[in-house]
């Protein structure tokens, strides 16, 4: 059975939801096609032991200019504006104050060297002095923020994000994923569990094939992740190969989260933080008792996150517990209860955490954000020039793509009105 709509939105994450919000008042008919059985994509809050825990995005980065902040306020979501505890090491455990200063200095020196690489190798790893003491720390921090090691990262890309970021980080206690999925206008025509398999040209528009039928649309907004776009799950016209190539040089890095419930309020103070082993590129990062809850959110990034996909969740939990034991003693083991974990890299519909340009390829974001023949418009975090890798970058890209689609379809609409 074929359905006819003006604009099909492929993907119901932050970018797709933003596009649906913009199109709601446009007068064009829309349909949202989402492969999984839930909305939100990489924004996913799960209720674990009664706590709304974010498996994907959790922080309103650049919160003072983040569109989700205003959306949350308007919708009555509470916002926690306290400063993140990331910069501190609880009781300086395993990481003395002197070591912390030295590690931070090394990180700053590395960042200051990046501009000179842009016109050379553009490989952020080339700014590390071989064998320097804090290289593993810089490597690990790079993994947490970008999902990859410095050798796999474009210095220009890193600097573009850094220059635009306001470094204000707030949270939505009800969950960022909850906020994102609750923000889809209720009148939106959504089909969950409906993966798009083929997009092909059909007259002046598109035929979009799903397992439950074909949709004929004048235009589509494609919001899938770069790994999905570069992969084989959606069959696209071959003239879209340049977009797929751009996606392939903006691959998703690895970032995962493990959650523990912690017994015994006195073991750790609320809203504190620990780095597991600052000398290990596979260090874990623990956000302890967020909002005062009896929970530890353990983040894995880069090398440590790849353990989830390559060795499995048991190995990842073992590493997280082992590093914590080294810091606070073996008594902690009996106080921890595993609550849940993400596995983004193994999720076929996402395939990793967030995009990071390979050295020499930061311009690919611009290529990826171009429209194709006024019929396919690209959105998603990776298409943003500087807020890539975030939920607010995804949001802005969805608005941009929706505006482009409206602009492209308006003349056609006028032509058909004139007869």
Ligand X SMILES: Cc1cc2nc3c(=O)[nH]c(=O)nc-3n(C[C@H](O)[C@H](O)[C@H](O)COP(=O)(O)OP(=O)(O)OC[C@H]3O[C@@H](n4cnc5c(N)ncnc54)[C@H](O)[C@@H]3O)c2cc1C
Residues near ligand X (CB under 6 A): 10-16, 33-36, 41-43, 56-59, 61, 195-196, 223-225, 228, 233-234, 255-257, 342, 344, 349-350, 353-354, 380-381, 389-392, 394
Residue 371 CB, nearest approach to ligand X (Å)? 17
Nearer to ligand X, 222 or 249 (CB): 222
CB of 344 to ligand X, least distance (A): 5
C-beta of 400: minimal distance to ligand X in Å?
12
Q: Which is nearer to ligand X, 197 or 413 (CB)?
A: 197
Minimal distance, residue 86 CB to ligand X, in Å: 11
3-state SS, the chain, equals CEEEEEEEEECCEHHHHHHHHHHCCCCCCEEEECCCCCCECCCCEEEECCEEEECCCCEECCHHHCHHHHHHHHHCCCCECCCCCCCCCHHHCCCCHHHHHHHHHHHHHHHHHHHHHCCCCCEHHHHCCCCCCCHHHHHHHHHHHHCCCHHHCEHHHHHHHHHHCCCCCEECCCCHHHHHHHCCCCCCCEECCCCCCEEEEECCEEEEEECCEEEEEEEEEECCCHHHHHCCCCECCHHHHHHHHHHHCCCECCEEEEEEEECCCCCCCCCEEEECCCCCCCCCEEEECHHHCCEEEEEEECHHHHHHHHCCHHHHHHHHHHHHHHHHCHHHHHHEEEEEECCHHHCCCCCCCCECCCCCCCCHHHHHCCCECCCEEECCHHHCCCCCCCHHHHHHHHHHHHHHHHHHHHHHHHHHHHC
- At closest approach, how far in Å is the CB of 53 from ligand X? 11
Between 293 and 344, CB nearer to ligand X = 344
93 vs 399, beta carbon nearer ligand X: 399
Of 234 and 402, CB closest to ligand X: 234
Smallest separation, CB 202 to ligand X (Å): 18
Give the nearer residue to ligand X in terms of CB position, either 135 or 171: 171
Residue whose CB is less far from ligand X, 69 or 342: 342
Smallest gap from Cβ 410 to ligand X, in A, equals 25
| 8 Å CB contact between 303 and 149 | yes
CB of 110 to ligand X, least distance (A): 22
- For ligand X, give the closer residue by CB, 321 or 353: 353
| Cβ closest to ligand X, residue 133 vs residue 311 | 311
- 259-296 burial by CB neighbour count: b if 16+ within 10 A, else e? bbbbeeeebbeebbbbbbbbbbbbbbbbbbbbeebbbb
Q: In angstroms, what is the minimal distance from the CB of 358 to ligand X?
A: 18
């Amino acid at each position: 059975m074929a359905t006819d709509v003006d604009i099909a939105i492929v993907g119901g994450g932050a970018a797709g939801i933003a596009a649906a919000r913009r199109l709601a008042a446009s007068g064009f008919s829309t349909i949202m096609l989402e492969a999984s059985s839930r909305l939100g994509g990489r924004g996913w809050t799960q209720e674990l032991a009664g706590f709304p825990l974010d498996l994907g995005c959790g922080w309103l980065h650049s919160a003072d200019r983040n569109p989700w902040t205003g959306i949350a306020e308007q919708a009555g979501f509470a916002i926690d504006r306290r400063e993140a505890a990331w910069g501190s090491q609880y009781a300086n455990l395993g990481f003395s104050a002197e070591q912390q200063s030295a590690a931070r200095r090394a990180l700053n020196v590395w960042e200051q060297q990046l501009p000179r690489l842009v016109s050379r190798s553009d490989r952020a790893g080339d700014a590390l002095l071989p064998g320097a003491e804090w290289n593993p720390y810089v490597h690990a921090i790079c993994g947490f923020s970008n999902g990859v090691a410095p050798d796999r990262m474009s210095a220009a890309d890193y600097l573009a994000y850094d220059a635009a970021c306001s470094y204000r980080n707030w949270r939505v206690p009800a969950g960022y994923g909850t906020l994102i999925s609750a923000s889809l206008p209720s009148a939106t025509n959504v089909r969950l569990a409906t993966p798009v398999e083929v997009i092909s040209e059909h007259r002046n528009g598109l035929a979009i094939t799903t397992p439950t039928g074909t949709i004929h649309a004048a235009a589509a907004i494609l919001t899938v992740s770069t790994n999905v776009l570069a992969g084989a799950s959606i069959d696209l016209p071959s003239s879209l190969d340049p977009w797929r190539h751009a996606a392939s040089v903006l691959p998703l890095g690895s970032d995962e989260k493990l959650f523990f419930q912690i017994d015994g309020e006195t073991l750790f103070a609320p809203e504190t933080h620990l780095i597991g082993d600052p000398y290990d590129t596979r260090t874990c990062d623990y956000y302890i008792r967020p909002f005062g809850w009896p929970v530890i959110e353990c983040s894995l990034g880069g090398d440590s996150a790849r353990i989830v996909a390559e060795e499995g969740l048991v190995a990842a939990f073992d590493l997280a517990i082992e590093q914590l034991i080294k810091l606070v003693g073996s008594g902690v083991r009996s106080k921890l209860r595993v609550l849940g974990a993400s596995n983004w890299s193994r999720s076929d519909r996402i395939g990793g955490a967030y995009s990071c340009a390979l050295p020499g390829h930061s311009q690919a974001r611009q290529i990826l954000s171009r429209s194709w023949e006024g019929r396919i418009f690209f959105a998603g975090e990776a298409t943003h020039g500087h807020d890539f890798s975030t939920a607010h970058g995804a949001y802005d890209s969805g608005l941009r793509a929706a505006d482009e689609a409206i602009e492209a379809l308006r003349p056609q609409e006028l032509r058909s009105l004139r007869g």
